[in-house]
Amino acid sequence: MYRYPVAEPEIGEEELKNVVEAVKSGWVSSKGKFIEDFENSFAKYVGVKYGVATSNGTVALHLALVALNIGKGDEVIVPDLTFAATINAVIYVGAKPVIVDINPDYWCIDPNKLEKAITQNTKAIIPVHLYGHPCDMEAIMEIASRHNLYVVEDAAEAHGAEYKGKKVGSFGRISCFSFYGNKIITTGEGGICLTNDNELAEKIKILRDHGMSPKRRYWHDVVGFNYRMTNLQAALGLAQLNKIERFIEKKRGIAKIYTEELSSIEGVTLHPEMPWAKCVYWLYSILIDNKKVTRDELAEKLKENGIETRNFFYPLHEMPIYRKYANLTYPISSKISKQGLNLPSSVKLSEEDVKYIARKVREIIT
């Protein structure tokens, strides 16, 4: 147990009240009033018409790709720096992932490199809004429309983040979110697919429910999955959603303190926020390229002070199981992955906590 964890959920009386109500109602599985309420409320929050809640974020990505008929012979472009669930979903459907390098300024997929990776077989792009920072959605949507590709946003780390004033998750044909315990809001385990396309939403609902025909019970037209969210999870999520603005303001406040306290240290790059972006700083992150200490030494010293940190994800292309999908060059993700460190970003941290952590970082580095 760390005194200052990287992320932890804030769960209060409102959540408890909802979950108790759900339990007492007897609707503990995937029927019940909280599910549709949560789906509609979250979709509305992002500015998308339809929401289909799932048992986690990974299966939301899987369902999105199945619903778009992506499979064998198709290629899907993913960024090199992301959580493995992004690429795994592509592999589940039998498509070929194509790994693309990131942009050095904001750490998400680089649109220029993305365009060069497109072939005749490319069907979709999965941009990932990494650590709460949006991708360059205008550039990505423009490339996608020119090449007739689907965009499936992986917004698992960026609830409420905005690109030019528009929320992430409202750009792609389908967007996917996660509500895992360390994400911006949580349902315990959970996820959702959002789309403006009614037919797609209906298709995802069927696929989520064993492929069962909505018109004829126990009649199956497709091989589906059991990827449903429970009423208990949705009850928790609905109470969390009521607090999302406060959580995001809190995260942005934490980022502001880190940015002030850690500015102008040689060899430290701070978490970016591009002029076109509203970043939600899911995990406030820094890059360490410092003569005095390495990233790993800094992490070790912080740990001695009760401060948890997390290294950036390994680039996908470096892991043997994914290497066969890496046929391009990855100079930026290789470098940034080794330098990147996520700092404590929990909404439960006080201003004093964040200042203390920032000062420790400064003390160790300078």
Ligand X SMILES: *Cc1c(COP(=O)(O)O)cnc(C)c1O
Q: Which strands sit side by side in the sheet containing 174-178, from one edge to the other?
A: 50-54, 191-195, 174-178, 150-154, 122-125, 75-79, 96-100
The string of DSSP letters for 288-324 reads E--SS--HHHHHHHHHHTTB--EEPPPPGGGSGGGGG
Stretch that binds ligand X, among 14-22, 78-86, 132-140, 322-330 (CB under 6 A): 78-86
Of the candidates 132, 61, 130, 133, the residue with the CA atom closest to the CA atom of residue 97: 61
Check binding of 57 to ligand X (CB under 6 A). Answer: yes
Measured from the CB atom, the residue of 4 and 177 that comes closer to ligand X is 177
For ligand X, give the closer residue by CB, 82 or 230: 82
Contact (Cβ atoms closer than 8 angstroms) between residue 174 and residue 193? yes
Catalytic: which of 113, 123, 167, 183? 183
Q: Per-residue contact track with ligand X, 108 to 147, x per CB under 6 A?
A: --------------------x-------------------
Q: Which residue is nearest to ligand X (CB)?
A: 57
Task: Restricting to residues 149-188, name those near ligand X by CB under 6 A.
Answer: 154, 156-157, 178, 180
Alpha-carbon span 365 to 273, nearest angstrom:
23
Cβ neighbour number for residue 227 with a 10 Å cutoff: 24
Pairwise CA distance, residues 296 & 310, whole Å:
10
Shortest Å, Cβ 116 to ligand X? 23
Q: How far is the CB of 191 from ligand X (least distance, A)?
A: 5
Residue 231 binds to ligand X (criterion: CB under 6 A): no
SS (H, E, C) 8-30: CCCCCHHHHHHHHHHHHHCCCCC
Q: Tell me if 56 contacts ligand X by CB under 6 A.
A: yes
- By beta-carbon proximity to ligand X, the closer residue of 128 and 137 is 128
Q: Which is nearer to ligand X, 61 or 117 (CB)?
A: 61
Closer residue to ligand X in complex, CB, 113/133: 133
Candidate ranges 55-63, 212-220, 335-343, 351-359; the one touching ligand X (CB under 6 A): 55-63
Cα→Cα distances 75→91, 121, 134, Å: 10, 6, 23
Max distance between CA atoms of the chain, in angstroms, equals 68
Q: Is position 335 annotated as part of the catalytic site?
A: no
Residue 239 CA to residue 18 CA, distance in Å, equals 7
Examine residue 98 and tell whether it contacts ligand X (CB under 6 A). Answer: no
Give the pairing of strands 268-269 and 150-154: unpaired
Return the closest-CA partner of residue 337 out of 144, 162, 99, 25.
99
C-alpha to C-alpha distance for 92 and 61, rounded to whole angstroms: 10
Task: Write down the least CB distance from residue 55 to ligand X, Å.
Answer: 8
- Could you tell me which stretch among 15-23, 52-60, 215-223, 286-294 binds ligand X (CB under 6 A)? 52-60
What is the Cα Rg of the chain in Å? 21
Q: Is 281 or 356 the residue whose CB approaches ligand X more closely?
A: 281
Q: Is 85 in the site for ligand X (CB under 6 A)?
A: yes
**CB nearer ligand X, residue 132 or residue 344:** 132
Site map (CB under 6 A) of ligand X, residues 187-206, x = contact:
----x---------------
**What is the rounded distance in angstroms from the CA atom of residue 35 to the CA atom of residue 183?**
19
CA–CA distance, 307 with 274 (Å, rounded to integer):
28
Q: Does 58 bind ligand X (CB under 6 A)?
A: yes
Number of residues that bind ligand X (CB under 6 A): 14
Residues annotated as part of the active site: 183
Residues that bind ligand X (CB under 6 A): 56-58, 82-83, 85-86, 128, 154, 156-157, 178, 180, 191
